Chains A and B, each alone.
Chain A
Amino acid sequence: QVQLVQSGSEWKKPGASVRVSCKASGYIFTSNNINWVRQAPGQGPEWMGWIHTNTGNPTYAQGFTGRFVFSFDTSVSTAYLQISSLEAEDTAVYYCARYAGNHRFDYWGQGTLVTVSS
């Protein structure tokens, strides 16, 4: 069965970097693009963008350029989200989601809480 399993919670100080992983199983990794979604405490989710799992070409939503980097390693069927120069406002749960066409996500990871605090 299709699964997206994300890495565990992270606690980072402001200015540090973090990498969140999203390991896919149960399907051919390169068959579906991976999207990333952020949900800050008490707020609705925000779409961060996506990465083409064949070409590696990332697309970042407005507000998620510069410090955010999408990547993947097909040899381990894992997508990554790296955030640099962390700010307190980056404290959120980050989700990966498998794109199923027609602007819908058919499988999601369980989420990774990133806490940024000194």
Chain B
Amino acid sequence: QSALTQPPSASGSPGQSVTISCTGTSSDVGFYNYVSWYQHYPGKAPKLMISEVSNRPPGVPDRFSGSKSGNTASLTVSGLQAEDEADYYCTSYGGTNRLLFGGGTKLTVL
């Protein structure tokens, strides 16, 4: 069982918005602003999409956004496109020598 809780699946139609949650505790997600989100196509290298809760690295479409409220971080994908269909993982720093992962969410574009 992963330290951070994500819904196993999420879906939306092209053009819609989808939000994926990542729930931790007051010792990790709720305490540190070091939440990252990764996009992963099976068999490929994961890709950093969001860091430090809401920062988008260069080259990541602005359709991807991140936020946090309390112990739950969220990744929102707006204007869904077919190529957004992938697995998404959140991570959070949890203190010295602790980097926590979520179990992953499979995003399906209907």
Contact = CB atoms under 8 A, between A and B. Distances in A.
Interface of A: 4, 35, 37, 43-47, 49, 59, 61-62, 95, 97, 100, 102-111
A7 to B, nearest CB: 14
Interface of B: 2, 6, 32, 34, 36, 38, 43-48, 51-52, 57, 89, 91-93, 97-104
Given A47-B99, A102-B34, A104-B51, A95 B104 contact: no
Contacts of B36: 103-105
B43 A106 contact: no
A61 B104 contact: no
Contact of A59 (B52, B97, B100): B97
Contacts of A107: 45
A108 B45 contact: yes
7 contacts: A44-B103, A44-B104, A100-B51, A103-B91, A104-B36, A104-B48, A105-B46
B101 A45 contact: yes
A4 to B, nearest CB: 7
A21 to B, nearest CB: 15
A46 B101 contact: yes
A61 B97 contact: yes
A111 B87 CA distance: 15
Please list the 9 inter-chain residue pairs (A to B) with the smallest Cβ-Cβ separation, ordered nearest first. A44-B103, A44-B2, A104-B51, A47-B99, A103-B93, A103-B34, A108-B45, A45-B101, A104-B36
